[in-house]
Structure 1
């Protein structure tokens, strides 16, 4: 039974259970909005460049306001910060619904609202990431993160399908409206939490606090190695940009096959999440993370070589499972290795690395595929990923040791 999903956090902590349910429902709503924004942008412009601009509208505010949110999370009550930012996201979701139902038809308005919602989410994301470590005992933090990840993977699988049906029948405005309503669940999950101020000496938000956070990360080999592992895995091996080319060159360009590529990753992630009990109970999350990241690279190299669609889908499913295990293990390692007074800023960096890495990885994959072939881009990226992970494992022995929970720092240590 220990191989299965560890559901102890849902049984032992009612506050965590409420947060998890609210987060799962709002994440499904978020997927509805993602599809709606893509569809509306395409209907307004018919331009792939305009569709690509959505990523820019999300990424820039996420990076800028994520750093600010990390500093705020180490300075104020995290519960209140998440409440305010979630309410802001809900208001913007409502404005997206209004502009769709009113037929405003302006790409500038749409992108501005997308950027505004991304900024609100980024401000609250670092504080939200600390909830598992604050609401659960240390031996259940990994299980809590696995539950959050499972909810995300399920939403990735079912959300777009629901959005497609809803947008076709009722228009994109209905997707935005449902997204707005799901934020009520997220608010309910947070509003009943106790106050969650940072443990120890609170930090004054500002540039100095952000710099101190980066200095703390660089001075901790476990944290620096964990983030470097994520960068290597995503920048060198991210395969999404290669899917259309591989599908066209090997499998006849069938849109259904292209969709299955994405679904295979999600299915692998869900299966890994449901069978994550052993992983979340491991006392060596760093070692688990390194092994999983290496498997991710091997699986994607095999995808680049796979001669049949079924073998390619199997490789992607393995990659999705490995990615989920790596994300869960890295999240637990980072939260446990970080004193609470730094958790907001460290979580902000984790968010930024997790967001920027895939964008850069897809850009790298496209450049290499353009100069060579999509297959070579996938195989070379996967093998370089394995090599990079091996170097991190050899040069950062702290990642291979049992994880130790960080002790609170004194005021002098945090200055």
Structure 2
């Protein structure tokens, strides 16, 4: 008689999980990562609290969306100028100065909240200052990373950045919703001030990082030099365009307060949960990012990831449509009577959107850091930051305006299908993008 050995269930191997070698390779990178993660967590508290407070003051989704829109031009200017500064001066010093401005603006926001002096205009002005200064910090910081790590570890560093985004956006909005609901806005802003001190520790302990190669002083010539490079860099240029498409038509964040208040129910807590769901997807995709770092055709990876993103946003629109049909019935949702089943479906859609967007971000960030020369990397990172942060602001304008004149479910449903169509068309017109090889990066 033969005995058959029991079959073992397949196990996740170590290479399936995120690559932690950047931590072992560079203590400076590790300290910067910790500081960025903690300060980013605090920043998310303020972002969500400002949105909720604006909605409390105005009861207007359009006013909430305008928080992002009014800061678009200053943020674009700050990102571009910050990139030029990072290519002309010590990148560590540039980041420290900009971080000090962010700290001062957040501290003022907390002081106003404690005194009961905050108004719509104060929220707009300080949001502009914070987002502009953060653009400079991010441009300088991301230009530093390739100087701290070898090229083969850049995908792992990008995945670790996804962990950062996942932690800060997953925990931050949920914590903000609870803090606002139970302790108020002043405590929420104050906690951000405390967490932001970690950013200075991460930046202060970095070595001096001056740009390599020919230095171009900040100004029009520096900007033109970056534009000339981008004109020649078809792969980098297309990834910028694809991300703008995805964020413009697939970013429903500005709708979350109204969705939580009048469509799905649950109020501020639902708003925090929905925002956290996006980050949960990003976190999980980074946690299991081992195979992502071994993909060589990174352009094709960007295309596929954004297509999945479009599908998930369209699915969210369907869920919100079902909620709208349900609220037309006698049963009314609210903070005390959330529609739990549809909230769960919305969370799943948003988690998939966060995971796919993070996969795209890993490939896009790696492409810039590996294919762009150090002498111009700050300016390209500045443009990258403008695209990454400016796209959602255009998305807030699209979603807020369209929802004002139609319904809350319509912008994500329409936007998801627009993303699918435009991405397929743009990549088809640029076949070199699909064949981009991460082992032999060509901008």
TM over 0.5: yes
Q: 2:151 matched to 1:138? A: yes
Structure 1 residue corresponding to 2:388, chosen from 316, 336, 354: 354
Structure 2 residue corresponding to 1:281, chosen from 280, 290, 294: 294
Q: Secondary structure at the match of 1:277?
A: coil
2:332 aligns to what? none
Q: 2:197 matched to 1:163? A: no
1:176 aligns to what? 189
2:430 aligns to what? 396
Alpha-carbon distance, 1:263 to partner: 3.5
After TM superposition, the structure 1 stretch with the greater mean CA deviation from structure 2, 395-404 or 264-273, is 395-404
Q: Secondary structure at the match of 2:291?
A: helix
Q: 2:27 matched to 1:14? A: yes
1:28 aligns to what? 41
CA distance, structure 1, for counterparts of residue 235 and residue 49 of structure 2: 40
CA distance, structure 2, for counterparts of residue 50 and residue 374 of structure 1: 15
Q: Say if 1:242 and 1:378, in contact at 8 Å, map to a contact too.
A: no
Alpha-carbon distance, 1:363 to partner: 3.4
Q: Say if 2:79 and 2:382, in contact at 8 Å, map to a contact too.
A: yes
1:271 aligns to what? 284
CA distance, structure 2, for counterparts of residue 96 and residue 72 of structure 1: 27
Q: Say if 1:58 and 1:114, in contact at 8 Å, map to a contact too.
A: yes
Larger Rg: 2
Task: Mark the runs of 5 or more structure 2 residues left unpaired by the alignment.
Answer: 1-13, 323-340
Structure 2 residue corresponding to 1:297, chosen from 310, 316, 321: 310
Residues 238, 99 of structure 1: alpha-carbon distance in 2 compared, 3 angstrom cutoff = closer
After TM superposition, the structure 1 stretch with the greater mean CA deviation from structure 2, 238-247 or 328-337, is 238-247
Q: Secondary structure at the match of 2:15?
A: coil
Q: Say if 1:39 and 1:172, in contact at 8 Å, map to a contact too.
A: no
1:102 aligns to what? 115
CA distance, structure 2, for counterparts of residue 336 and residue 63 of structure 1: 24
Q: Within 5 Å, give how 1:52-67 maps onto structure 2.
A: 52-67=65-80
Alpha-carbon distance, 1:160 to partner: 2.5
1:212 aligns to what? 225
Number of equivalences: 407
1:363 aligns to what? 397
2:11 aligns to what? none
CA distance, structure 2, for counterparts of residue 162 and residue 252 of structure 1: 19
CA distance, structure 1, for counterparts of residue 177 and residue 247 of structure 2: 28
CA distance, structure 1, for counterparts of residue 59 and residue 170 of structure 2: 26
- What is the TM-score of this pair, normalised by structure 2? 0.82
Q: Say if 1:28 and 1:159, in contact at 8 Å, map to a contact too.
A: yes
Task: Mark the runs of 5 or more structure 1 residues left unpaired by the alignment.
Answer: 409-415
